[in-house]
Structure 1
Amino acid sequence: MSLFHLDNRNRSDKHKKIYAYCEIAYTIVDVSAAVLFVIGSVLFFREETTYVGTWLFLIGSILFGLRPTIKLYREYFYLRLGDYEDITHQ
């Protein structure tokens, strides 16, 4: 099993379930970050709301940082299902 290979998601029903949950989490994080960035951008138009806009940008940035974390989480749980001997032979 190669890490981050597209075929890993179809190796078993458990792999499919992990993939589905991670895709849902990834999409939720993506949409949330985008919404926070848009709202934060609008708040930058007025000086009195810039502080809140800055916080929304920070939270959106953190969410964008979660995106690769979700993929690592998914690959970790694929490995826990077994068949990881050939990872070192890539």
Structure 2
Amino acid sequence: MKLLHPSLEDLTPRHIELFWRYQVVRTGVDFSAAMCFLVGSAFFFFASLSTPADWLFLVGSILFAVKPTIDLVRSAHLRRLPTTSSPAAGDLR
């Protein structure tokens, strides 16, 4: 299995389960980043909230940077698991 490009025919149920767990985390990060930008944008309508708006934009940007990190960690984790074509495919733990 190549990094960031798995061979779909070699995936086990454990691969699929872990993929979706990482996807839930990635979606949560994506939603949080979007909310930071949305609320931060609304805060800029009020001069007294410009500093919190700046912080929300910074946090949103950091969250967007976390997404590819999640992808890399997920890919590395899935790559370490035995596939259906590997000798240890019966032992999925």
- Give the TM-score range, shorter chain: 0.7 to 0.9
TM-score between both structures, scaled by the size of structure 2: 0.80
Contact 1:8 1:15 in 2 (8 A): no
Partner Cα separation in structure 1 for residue 70 and residue 54 of structure 2:
25
Partner Cα separation in structure 2 for residue 56 and residue 48 of structure 1:
14
When the two chains are superposed, the root-mean-square deviation of aligned CA atoms in Å is 1.8
For this pair of structures, how many residues does the alignment match?
83
1:80 Cα offset (Å): 1.7
Structure 2 unaligned runs (5+)?
87-93
Aligned to 1:21: 21
Structure having the higher helix fraction is: 1
Q: Could you tell me the percent identity over the aligned residues? A: 37
1:11-90 map, 5 Å: 11-82=11-82
TM-score between both structures, scaled by the size of structure 1: 0.83
Moved over 3 A (4+): 6-10
Which of these two proteins has the greater Rg computed from alpha carbons? 2
